[in-house]
Amino acid sequence: MNRRERRAARAKARHHGIDPITALHEAGHAVGRYLVAPDMGFPEDKIITDIVVHSEGERPDLGTSKDGRVKFESLAVCNGPMLTAELGELVPAASEKLGILAGNALSGRQSFDLVKEVLTAGRNKGIDVNAWVEARAIVAVFGPMVEAQQREMPFTDVWDGEQGDGDRRDIVGDGVAAGLSTDEISAVIKRAVNRVIDYLQQDNVVGAVNALGRHLQRHGTTSGKRAAAIIRNAMTAS
């Protein structure tokens, strides 16, 4: 094989074994991000940084359960801005208040404390923090909802199972950081579920999820701009 053929063969082997449902799950998250971009204050091609879907055998080890019986692996991740553009402007002042130096890696607790401080400052400035929680919930629910439909399972089976564990913990953490009660967080999730069900009854949204899912299954990783272009083209074509 020539050099180009060898590169193509390595790429094919590297991404062999990507689970199609995992690819669609992550495509769901990406489409959710795309749809809430206006609420987050970002252009559609800036709301997704990148998407990584790991093939079997290449999944990063996330450790084991406390009893040592369950091994956790990262199947996929859709990266992008966590905070709205408006809330993001408050991060430097919040970091300084908490004594967090720029560029330092943060522990899980430090990250939570920083987000909580930003949200508190945001509320004091009149920013609608609850709208941020609602947008984040839509993104969190979108992946498990797509997976549930693909597996022909009730949404709650996926959401409450290990497939939805990270997404569930993310939105609960967002709600707690925003000062919401358990009942308020449950209501946010319920509204997000209804919104996502409505979205997935729209042919253009389903077309976008499927188009991006196929791309991720073939390539495993894609840039945010490429993902946004695939979503936009699929929605326009539907």
**pTM here?**
0.85
| pLDDT at site 108 | 87
What are the tokens at 115?
Answer: 């987000």
Q: How confident is the model at residue 73 (pLDDT cuts 50, 70, 90)?
A: very low
Q: Which amino acid is at 69?
A: R
d(CA 203, CA 193): 18
pLDDT (mean) for 164-179? 96
Share of the chain above pLDDT 90, in %: 76
pLDDT at 140 over 60: yes
pLDDT in tens, 105-129: 888 899 999 999 999 999 999 999 9
Amino acid at 41: G
Q: Count CB atoms within 10 A of the CB of residue 9.
A: 11
Residue 60 has pLDDT above 60, yes or no: no
163 residue type, one letter = Q
Give yes or no for residue 64 having a pLDDT over 80. no
Position 56 confidence tier, pLDDT thresholds 50, 70, 90: low
Tell me the average pLDDT of the chain. 87
In the chain, the N- to C-terminal Cα span, in Å, equals: 40
Q: Is the pLDDT of residue 65 over 60?
A: no
- For 17-53+109-237, which CATH superfamily applies? Peptidase M41 (1.20.58.760)
CA distance 161 to 136: 20
Unique residue bearing structure tokens 């949404």: 155
Residues 14, 58: contact at Cβ < 8 Å?
Answer: yes
> What's the average model confidence in pLDDT over 150-176?
95
For residue 55, give the DSSP letter: P
Q: Compare 147 and 64 and report the one with higher pLDDT.
A: 147
* Residue 152 falls in which region: left (phi positive, over 0), alpha (psi -120 to 50) or beta: left
User: Greater confidence, 18 or 186?
Assistant: 186
94 and 49 in contact (C-beta within 8 Å)?
A: no
Outline where 74-107 has alpha helix (H). 85-88, 91-98
Other C-beta atoms lying within 10 Å of the C-beta of residue 231 = 26
pLDDT at site 158: 96
* Cα–Cα distance for residue pair 190/170, rounded to 1 Å: 15
Which residues are CB-contacts of 123 (< 8 A; sequence separation ≥ 6)? 129, 179
Alpha helices in the chain (DSSP H): 3-14, 20-40, 85-88, 91-98, 108-124, 129-151, 155-159, 165-177, 182-199, 203-219, 224-237
